[in-house]
Chains A and B, each alone.
Chain A
Amino acid sequence: MAATALPRTRGHARRAPRRPLGIVPTGVLVLGAIYTLFPVSWVVVAATKSKAELFSTSTFAPGTGLLSNLTDLFAYRDGVFWLWLLNTLLYAGGGAVLSTAVSTVSGYALATYDFPGRNLIFNILIGGILVPSVVLAIPQYLLFSKAGLADTYWSVLLPQILHPYSIYLARIYARAAIPGSLLEAGRLDGASEWRLFRQVALPMMTPGMVTIFLFQFVAIWNNFLLPFIMLGDDHRFPLTVGLYTLLAAGANQPSLYNLIITGTLLSLIPLIALFLTMQRYWRTDLSGGAVKS
């Protein structure tokens, strides 16, 4: 998603002279769009099918069961779906905000200050990107258990706040977006470092922060393994783990496919809404720079 933000400025330059070649990238993008949207469209159609229709009617024939699926889902265990949705919002929203804050501050510091150990820290962070978070889930669980924090909201929030890739992104962005001369000018005018960060750097980093926020929001929203391992109490489950209990209902219980598919569809809506509303921040801030060099 971040990639769509950057090429926009380049698009203007290319448009006129290279018209015929333009078909190729467009075609690739269309293929990519179909590839990613196809499963989503299946979810949309399947969510309308009743239990009887789900496995018997043709794949893309709309069904008649959307309303009953929704009623069943909301009635399932006295509306536990809403609780899971709220939990997910808390984990994804809270986690993404905290993670963006930490990443922005660290990225800004790494990009603009020269201090001993800076490269070491940065290299360790880059190494951290290479370690998949899946690998860390069980050690994190054991650590949190020792601290008595397992099976709490913190056990899911805290591990997702420090995200090496986001810090890396923030550093790259800060480096490119904040000219050293601007900070120098501010210092000469007697602004404190805190004020420089808040009033000069922060507005310029907003598009980068939005990207990091969205990345983290989506990543936490979709995260399964960490909450699955950390949480025992089903009233703290996010949607991913909650819906999974409907799928793996035990060997002798049927999977509640209808409810899972409908729940999946509903859980997509906040993500789509978020992207549509956040998109404009990329545009306004990328086009309106503070310094023209």
Chain B
Amino acid sequence: MRVNRLAVAAVAILTTALSAACSGGTEEPSSEAASQSAAPAGPVKLTYWTWVPNMDKIVTVWNQAHPDIQVTVSKQAGGDDAAAKFLTAAKAGNPPDLVQAEYQMLPSFVAADAVADLKAETAQAKAEFGEGIWGLVTLGTDAVYAVPQDSGPMMLYYRKDLFEKYGIEVPKTWDEYAEAARAVHKKDPKVFLGTFSSKDPGWFAGLSQQAGAQWWSISGDAWKVAVNDEATTKVASYWGGLVKEGVIDGMPYFTPEWNKALNDGKLLTWPSAVWGPGVLSSNAPKAKGKWAIAPLPQWSASDNYSGFWGGSSTAVAAKSPNKAAAAQFATWLNTDPQALDLLIKEGAVYPASAKGAALMTEAPDFFSNQPDFWQQAAAIGATARGFTFGPNVNVTYNAYRDAFDKAVAAKSDFAAAVAAMQDTTVADMQKSGFSLAQ
């Protein structure tokens, strides 16, 4: 019934996104009118799909303070499935009013016209967020498609005790990291400095961001796709070389095998994001107090950059009858000091807002040996580079898994895997009717 939907959506995103100054104005009155017409009939009722732990407790605080806007939380499974489910619900015409949207999925929501432009409602909230984060919800346009919630600046987690045992220094550049990988593996062939995960495209995207990659950008009225740009190819070839040499392992993250290696001290580093402590404390509890953090190794000694892995925002469904109320809640949730405090304590979230990040003072229990954990994290977060995600990130990410699965198994050329990602992404966007700039 909607064969041309994607093509239409493609046009729609570009027209609304690029000329948002005018289209944002036309959207605005209708949502206000809707919320006003709903208001007399008792409190506005909003549903909210999220997977942040204990969000119901945070929402209870809002509900008590705002009897006229009552929010109901429905806890969902997170990740790609949540995005697919929201898109299906939006298509069927009964989406929740509010939805947790991972930054890389937001463009696909925008392309499907599933989320509303919150430019007017978030005019004040904008100042609370850093530019890199804000770019993730505007997609580099004038519109605002969500309020940022949490972010995942990347850093290097390393086993301090084992670094001392094997006599290696914390690597400052990726060259030093490669040297350390060789040194460690030489001393104990069962131990690896790190592993290249073919299952975590978000991780690879973060490392590529650090190197300066820009996989998608909007140029005029068309998308520009450069998954195989110079920076990304450099990152891929670097890891490919180490995997081929056999000094970096090829096991994926978040698997039982990986958990075991972490527990047994067979993996010494993990280039990961600020939310790493939660994962480590749950999957490798034995190593408590033995890990430390440092900035990611740099591509040249004079650089100081990081990238983002993960993080999500709160978006408002385009079909919600109470967009203004929903935007009000989304803004409160992600900028109000009380809400931020709850997000940190109850939701184990690393807030995207600068005010929220400043609230993080006590180091995570797992890192009790590093009392300045959050200060370091904030300093690293400030160096994270901006990035624009495209409308078909899921296709690109699946292509990553396919291509790198094979490349890791065969220890073949990683640059070719990046080229495969580019080809798949471009082919899918052409098929979906997006116009592409050369």
Tell me the smallest distance from the CB of B87 to a CB of chain A, in Å. 11
Number of interface residues of A (CB under 8 A): 32
B273 — nearest CB in chain A belongs to which residue? A252
Which B residues, 89 to 133, have Cβ-Cβ distances below 8 Å to chain A? 89, 91-94, 96, 102
Q: Is the CB of B47 within 8 A of A248?
A: no
- When chains A and B are docked, how far (Å) is the Cα of A199 from the Cα of B265? 70
A142 to B166, CA, bound (A): 59
Q: B78 at the A/B interface (Cβ < 8 Å)? A: yes
Bound-complex Cα distance A109 to B182 (A): 75
B312, A250: Cβ atoms closer than 8 Å = yes
| A43 contacts the other chain (CB 8 A) | no
Q: Say what secondary structure dominates the interface of chain B.
A: mixed
| B285–A252 touching, CB < 8 Å | no
Cβ-defined contact, A56 with B79, below 8 A: no
A244 CA to B80 CA, complexed, in Å: 13
C-alpha gap A249/B79 in the complex (Å):
8
| Chain B window 246-285, contacts with chain A (Cβ cutoff 8 Å), 1 for yes, 0 for no | 0000000010100110011000000001010011011111
Q: Is B337 an interface residue (CB 8 A)?
A: no
Cα separation A78 to B79 with both chains bound (whole Å): 24
Knowing A145-B92, A232-B47, A248-B77 touch, does A55 contact B275 (C-beta < 8 A)?
Answer: no
Contacts A145-B92, A245-B77: A252 and B283 contacting too (C-beta < 8 A)? no
Contact flags B208-245 to A (C-beta < 8 A → 1, else 0):
00000000000000000000000000000000000000
Closest to B261 in A: A55
A56 close to B286 (CB less than 8 A): yes
- Interface size classification for chain B: 35 or more
Question: With A55-B263, A150-B92, A253-B348 in contact, do A248 and B256 touch (Cβ < 8 Å)?
Answer: no
Question: Quick check: B53 and A234 within 8 Å, CB to CB?
Answer: no
Secondary structure class of chain A's binding surface, majority of residues: loop
A3: Cβ under 8 A from any B Cβ: no
Of B53, B88, B152, the residue contacting A229 (CB under 8 A) is B88
What residues of A have a CB within 8 angstroms of the CB of B93 in the complex? Answer: 145
**B61-100 with Cβ < 8 A to chain A:** 72, 74-79, 81-82, 85, 88-89, 91-94, 96
* Pair B53/A248 contact, Cβ less than 8 Å: no
Asked if residues A250 and B74 are in contact (CB atoms below 8 Å), the reply is no
Flag if B152 contacts A252 (CB, 8 Å): yes
Q: Which residues of B contact A244 (CB under 8 A)?
A: 77
Chain B hits for A145, CB < 8 A = 89, 92-94
* B77 engages A252 (CB within 8 Å): no
Say yes or no for A114: interface residue by CB 8 A criterion. no
Chain A, range 117-159, C-beta contacts under 8 Å to B = 138, 141-142, 145-146, 150-151
- Which A residue sits closest to B93, measured CB to CB? A145
**Given A229-B88, A250-B79, A253-B278, A55 and B94 touching (CB < 8 A)?**
no
Interface assignment of B363: CB less than 8 Å from any CB of chain A: no
Cα-based distance from A141 to B82 in the complex (angstroms): 16
Q: Are B74 and A253 interface neighbours, CB within 8 A?
A: no
A254 within 8 Å of B (CB atoms): yes
Residues of chain A with a CB closer than 8 A to B260's CB: 55-56
**Closest approach, in angstroms, between the C-beta of A290 and any C-beta of chain B?**
50
Are A232 and B89 in touch, CB under 8 angstroms?
Answer: yes
**Given contacts A55-B256, A150-B92, A234 and B75 within 8 Å (CB-CB):** yes
Task: Tell me which residues across on chain A come within 8 A of B259, comparing CB atoms.
Answer: 54-55
Contact between chains at A253 and B263 (CB < 8 Å): no
Check: A286 CB closer than 8 A to any chain B CB. no
Q: A250 CA to B275 CA in the complex, in Å?
A: 11
Given contacts A138-B88, A244-B77, A245-B51, contact A150 B102 (CB under 8 A): no
Interface string of A218-242 (1 = CB under 8 A from B): 0000000000110011110000010
B194 contacts partner chain A, Cβ-Cβ < 8 Å: no
Q: List A contacts of B81 (CB < 8 A).
A: 228, 248
Chain A residue at minimal CB-CB distance from B78 = A250
- A residues less than 8 Å from B295 (CB atoms): none
Which residues of chain A come closer than 8 Å to B254, judged between CB atoms? 255
Q: Which residues of the partner chain B approach A52 to less than 8 Å between Cβ atoms? A: 285-286
Q: Known contacts A55-B259, A145-B93, A232-B96: does B88 contact A252 (CB below 8 Å)?
A: no
Expressed in whole angstroms, the Cα–Cα distance for A228 and B89 within the complex equals: 11
Chain B residues within 8 Å of A, Cβ to Cβ: 47, 49, 51-53, 56, 72, 74-79, 81-82, 85, 88-89, 91-94, 96, 102, 150, 152, 202, 254, 256, 259-260, 263-264, 273, 275, 278-279, 281-286, 309-312, 348-350
Extra inter-chain contacts (9) besides given A250-B52, A251-B310, CB under 8 Å: A52-B286, A55-B283, A150-B92, A232-B47, A233-B74, A234-B76, A251-B202, A252-B273, A255-B282
Task: Give 7 nearest A-B pairs by CB, closest first.
Answer: A250-B78, A252-B275, A254-B282, A145-B92, A55-B259, A248-B77, A251-B310
14 contacts between A and B (CB under 8 A): A51-B282, A141-B92, A145-B94, A233-B47, A233-B74, A234-B74, A245-B51, A245-B76, A247-B77, A248-B51, A251-B78, A251-B310, A252-B311, A254-B283
Which residues of A are in contact with B by a Cβ distance under 8 Å?
51-52, 54-56, 77, 138, 141-142, 145-146, 150-151, 228-229, 232-235, 241, 244-245, 247-256
